[in-house]
Amino acid sequence: MGICQSDCFSGLKDALDSRPKQKRKILMLFGPPGAGKGTQAPKIVDMLTVPQLSTGDMLREAVAAGTEVGKRAKEVMASGGLVSDDIVIGIIADRIKARDCKNGFILDGFPRTVVQACALDELLNKSGEVVSRVVSFDIPHGVLETRICGRWIHKASGRSYHVSFAPPKSMKLLPDGRPDPGTMKDDATGEALMQRADDTAEALKKRLSDYDSETVPILQRYDERGVVRRVNANQAMEVVWEETKAGILN
Ligand code: AP5
């Protein structure tokens, strides 16, 4: 994949106007760790019937399976750092060719750097496509530690829970008020929930710092194309969903 050219976005803008309406819906979820991308994504999948492509989920699967990619990604992910561009670009380049992406897909956690954004544009440009909508989950950083440190996930499905805001039905508390880990079970399957290795206050600092320096600049570029819709993610989940739905449909 070529190095990003500084004018790659502006060059694309001219091409956009003359483009016929594309067939695939290509949606991007944008926001800091804990903003609620993974929480809202399953509802978007149901609404649009296109798959969610979460690079975080794909990388965690690779780590769990002990693949070469997983071995390269494991430590950097646990510390809250970004996995190298070549790895994630390679993963997405393969994934968006899969049959289940024939009507479109939802990018969750990709792109995260300007290099990744340019690589995505190059990939889509080959098939005459562009990102059709970016939903930006806007939220103050100050509320994210509580969200991240209280999160439990169901590994197989990626379903997200929270000890205070979205507890699993099975949750029981210990005398000191913390959740009893043995009672943290997925509502749908009854399987055990887990906490992510990078869901610590320490790793969150690094994740937020990378988000601000590497990822936020991407949004401005999509803003210039008029495809960004902003959602106030610091509200009840149902209200966030209403705004998300409106942002996608309008
Ligand atoms: P990834 O898995 O993408 O994590 P992230 O972007 O840090 O996002 P999160 O999953 O933490 O946040 P979310 O917005 O989905 O939050 P959620 O909905 O669960 O990436 C992990 C790592 O993989 C990266 O750090 C990096 O190392 C690597 N990686 C991945 N992609 C990469 C790339 N492209 N390039 C390089 N490296 C890459 O919500 C959080 C909690 O809040 C939950 O408990 C939820 O129940 C609760 N919650 C959600 N909404 C609300 C609400 N409205 N009110 C109250 N609580 C809420």
Three-state SS string over 102-114 comes to CCEEEEECCCCCH
Question: Could you tell me if the CB of 221 is within 6 A of ligand 1?
Answer: no
Question: Could you tell me if the CB of 147 is within 6 A of ligand 1?
Answer: yes
Question: Could you tell me if the CB of 32 is within 6 A of ligand 1?
Answer: no
Give the residue whose CA is nearest to atom 49 of ligand 1. 36
pLDDT band for position 148 (cuts 50, 70, 90):
very high
Question: Could you tell me if the CB of 112 is within 6 A of ligand 1?
Answer: yes
Question: Could you tell me if the CB of 199 is within 6 A of ligand 1?
Answer: no
User: Does the pTM exceed 0.85?
Assistant: yes
Ligand 1 atom with the smallest distance to the CA of 39 is 18
Question: Could you tell me if the CB of 74 is within 6 A of ligand 1?
Answer: no
Ligand 1 atom with the smallest distance to the CA of 31 is 14
Is the per-residue pLDDT at 16 higher than 60? no
pLDDT band for position 157 (cuts 50, 70, 90):
confident
With vertex at residue 37, the alpha carbon angle to CA 226 and CA 128, rounded to the nearest 5 degrees, is: 40
Is the per-residue pLDDT at 17 higher than 60? no
Is the per-residue pLDDT at 1 higher than 50? no
Query: What 3 state SS string does the chain have?
Result: CCCCCCCHHHHHHHHHHCCCCCCCEEEEEECCCCCCHHHHHHHHHHHHCCCEEEHHHHHHHHHHHCCHHHHHHHHHHHCCCCCCHHHHHHHHHHHCCCHHHCCEEEEECCCCCHHHHHHHHHHHHHCCCCCCEEEEEECCHHHHHHHHHCEEECCCCCCEEECCCECCCCCCECCCCCECHHHCECCCCCCECECCCCCCHHHHHHHHHHHHHHHHHHHHHHHHCCCEEEEECCCCHHHHHHHHHHHHHC
Model confidence over 160-182: pLDDT tens digits?
999 999 999 999 999 999 999 99
% pLDDT > 90, the chain: 87
Determine whether 207 is an active site residue. yes
- Higher-pLDDT residue of 72, 158: 72
- The CATH number fitting domain 23-139+205-249, selected from 3.40.50.300, 3.40.50.2030, 3.40.50.170, 3.40.50.2020: 3.40.50.300
User: Ligand 1: distance of its center to the CA of 167 in Å?
Assistant: 17
* CA separation for the pair 150, 164 (Å, rounded): 7
pLDDT band for position 250 (cuts 50, 70, 90):
confident
Give the residue whose CA is nearest to atom 17 of ligand 1. 36
Determine whether 133 is an active site residue. no
pLDDT of residue 6: 47
pLDDT of residue 73: 95
Q: Among 60, 74, 147, 151, which one carries the catalytic annotation?
A: 151
Q: Among 13, 25, 196, 245, which one carries the catalytic annotation?
A: 196
Region 50-77 average pLDDT = 94
